[in-house]
A and B are shown apart, each in its own frame.
Chain A
Amino acid sequence: MAGSMVTSEFLVEVDHQRCRRCKRCILNCGFGVFDFQNMTTADSSKCVACHRCVVFCPEEAITITRNPLAFKEHPSWEVDRRKAIWKQAQSSGMILTGMGNDLPWLNVFDHLLIDACQVTNPSIDPLREPMELKTFLGRKPDRLEVSADNGGFRLQTEVGNNVELAVPIMFSGMSYGSVSLNVHKSLAIAAEKLGTVMNTGEGGLHPELTPYTDHIIVQCASGRFGVHSDYLNAGVAVEIKIGQGAKPGIGGHLPGEKIGREVSGTRMIPVGTDALSPAPHHDIYSIEDLRQLIYALKEATGYKPVSVKIATVHNVAAIASGIARAGADIIYLDGFRGGTGASPAVIRDHVGIPVEIAIAVVDKQLRSEGIRNLVSIIAAGGIRSSADVAKAIALGADAVGVGTAALIALGCRLCQKCYTGNCSWGIATQRPELTDRLDPDWGAERLVNLINAWSLELKEVLGALGVNAVESLRGNRERLRALGLDSTTMDILDVKPAGR
């Protein structure tokens, strides 16, 4: 019998007339597709369509095509379903995958339209007038008391620690281990230049990131990897990771192959052992327990802001209310399109709800309880463009987190094979010959370019709306209209249909 019934997803062809046998493709492919026996040969079954070979072939001699192999079509037995069954019938394993949900669920962002000013109130040209994107994350006081002071005013209310962002966009938590150190450095350098923050994820903080700790949020997740007193005090805030959009309710397994000397050092576990993150924090079984950990972290850090990251699940509004009341300063909502280095496909693709819905219901719930000022809301998990940023903020987010978009800026082709550790672009790998490919300064420049481009676009959107600060868009659902959404969803979003 054949070893596998699963046919190749892609076909790799080398044009031998063009090929000058430089073997760059062999060196560049992290998946071992190419070989050389008198001429360049390709094993299509290993190809993931990451395009590294195509981009680096000096003769444009390589083409990758989707395998046109015909399958008898069937509307409910799509080819990928059949392939999954073949794989599982052979291995008895769960289908593992990477990056975000790739099923064609409704994307609410793509059914929301932004307003603009015409005639009756003026729009603003952001190129000539100041436009404020600065955002402060953290608890805001219930009321401000000011006193007269020498003809001026003095703020009497003590405002707790907040994290200052020059732009309402931060980099999402991605652990060192799941991504390379050069990715972490790229994110950290970019965060500093942009005046925003990156997030360590749960893999600890590498010493080479020390110069950037004013722009780093450190994470405390269920495995407590690399978590110690100095680490907690290193960043501007601490994030308790309860859940991740790509895998709500489940833990993580970083395989021992990825725990080399350096990763072992930041995670503070022995080389070669699996890094198992339990599904829950075993000291958190209730909101009261969450409060206990929040205040344990505050006590350990001199009361730095504490963020709580959750996957957006069905009851997200009530959960968020509990988190706010438990004393969190920031709630990080990770939607079901959020990325991952590795997740069972059944969880990634079928568990959770879109972040668009979650932002709206959380913002509404917190407002209705009069506690919206206690926390800032970060929306992440499927933020693909400045339009998504604007819509997320209009739905009620204070800022957004980007992970997948940042990795795409660094060269990621969304091949979804992060868990193999073979990433040819040097992103989701610890193989030194691959990680060397990503120069942190080059990476940082691309990230800075991307976020600056989005900021320009965001300012244009604000100008068109006739407002001069992102604050004026926050939670301003009146400036959104829905196109092609059902009335219940519009009711939940608190957004009117286009034309009304």
Chain B
Amino acid sequence: MSKAATGREEELKSVTVDATGVYYRELNHRVRELVDEGYREIILDGVNGQRYIGDGLVDDVTIIINGVAGNDLGAFMDGPTVIVNDNAQDGVANTMNSGKIVVRGHAGDVLGYGMRGGKVFVTGDVGYRVGIHMKSYKEQVPVIVAGGRAGDFFGEYMAGGVMVLLGLGEEPPLTGDYLGTGMHGGNIFLRGPVFEDQLGKEVRQFPLDEEDRCFLEGLLEEFAADAGMDLSGVKTDEFSKLSPFSHRPYGNMYCY
């Protein structure tokens, strides 16, 4: 949520920018200027597909996007919070290091590619190849939660972090094929059953342990608050957990 909701309203320097028809380069340049000027909440009205919003930003700011965010939203981002009050296009959180992106709508393909930390919450569906090569490092554990369903290659090459699909109002399967293929770290939680023929050959289903349930409960609470949704009907015992059974899936392919 924006910092305004956390009780720091009085110290928050907020500004609204009309992004209608503004070229992305100018818009992002303006955002950087405002950050440098000390604004800590930047509201962008009339956004309609402008790319790279929040790209490479490292400051403690909140950007609220009213409209459809364009490709590579929050790419290489390291710290800011971004709220999108509509859909987001492809490449959300590309190689993001930390921060939070909340999309109150659907998001496109390749969301969270190479993401190393921070959180991405999408209330609706996500596209193909979501969470590819997500990785955790030290205390950084990237998290993606989507309220709807996902396409093929969900969690491909995943090396760390957590991905959750809620499938609200959906029937399983919640993802396409090649689920977790090449996965060698991290965990995927899907609400409802998972079909074996969807799985990549490097992952298996494991039962949720107490730590998983505890983690999921906290995560769902945070998601519900940010998304403005009631998730009281979602129980942690409905989830399937997928994990890789080897951290070295390709260790025995070579001879010398």
Contacts and interface: CB of A to CB of B under 8 A. Distances in A.
Contacts of B94: 283, 296
Contacts of A344: 254
A318 B159 CA distance: 35
B133 A223 contact: yes
A227 B95 contact: yes
Interface stretch (A72-80, A138-146, A274-282, A431-439): A274-282
A293 B72 CA distance: 8
B69 interface: no
B116 A268 contact: yes
Interface in A175-224: 220, 222-224
Interface of A is mostly: mixed
A122 interface: no
A344 B255 CA distance: 9
B151 interface: no
Contacts of B137: 264, 268-270
Contact of B247 (A228, A232, A256, A264): A256
A411 to B, nearest CB: 22
A229 B97 contact: yes
Interface string B105-128: 000001001101000000000000
Given A228-B95, A274-B248, A300-B76, A93 B58 contact: no
A274 B184 contact: yes
Interface in B151-177: 156-157, 159-160
For the side of the interface on A, what is the size category?
35 or more
Contact of B133 (A91, A224, A419): A224
Given A232-B76, A272-B247, A274-B250, A282 B135 contact: no
Interface stretch (B7-15, B48-56, B190-198, B228-236): B48-56
A299 B255 contact: no
Nearest to A297: B76
B184 A292 contact: no
Contacts of A270: 136-137, 160, 185
Contacts of B57: 229
B110 A282 contact: yes
B129 interface: yes
Given A223-B114, A268-B137, A282-B129, A96 B254 contact: yes
Contact of B255 (A95, A233, A269, A276): A95
A313 B79 CA distance: 40
A273 B76 contact: no
A283 B255 contact: no
Given A268-B135, A299-B28, A229 B114 contact: no
A486 interface: no
B182 interface: yes
Nearest to A281: B113
B82 interface: no
A278 B253 contact: no
8 contacts: A229-B58, A268-B135, A273-B248, A276-B184, A283-B90, A283-B91, A296-B91, A300-B75
Given A87-B256, A282-B132, A296-B72, 10 more contacts: A88-B255, A93-B254, A229-B78, A232-B76, A268-B135, A278-B132, A278-B157, A283-B94, A292-B72, A299-B75
Interface of A: 87-88, 90-96, 220, 222-224, 227-230, 232-233, 253, 255-256, 264, 268-270, 272-274, 276, 278, 282-283, 292-293, 295-297, 299-301, 344, 417, 419-420
Interface of B: 25, 28, 51-52, 55-58, 71-72, 75-78, 90-91, 94-95, 97, 110, 113-114, 116, 129, 132-133, 135-137, 156-157, 159-160, 182, 184-185, 247-256
In the complex, the 9 A-B pairs of residues with the closest C-beta atoms, listed nearest first: A300-B56, A224-B114, A93-B255, A91-B255, A96-B254, A299-B55, A268-B137, A228-B97, A299-B52
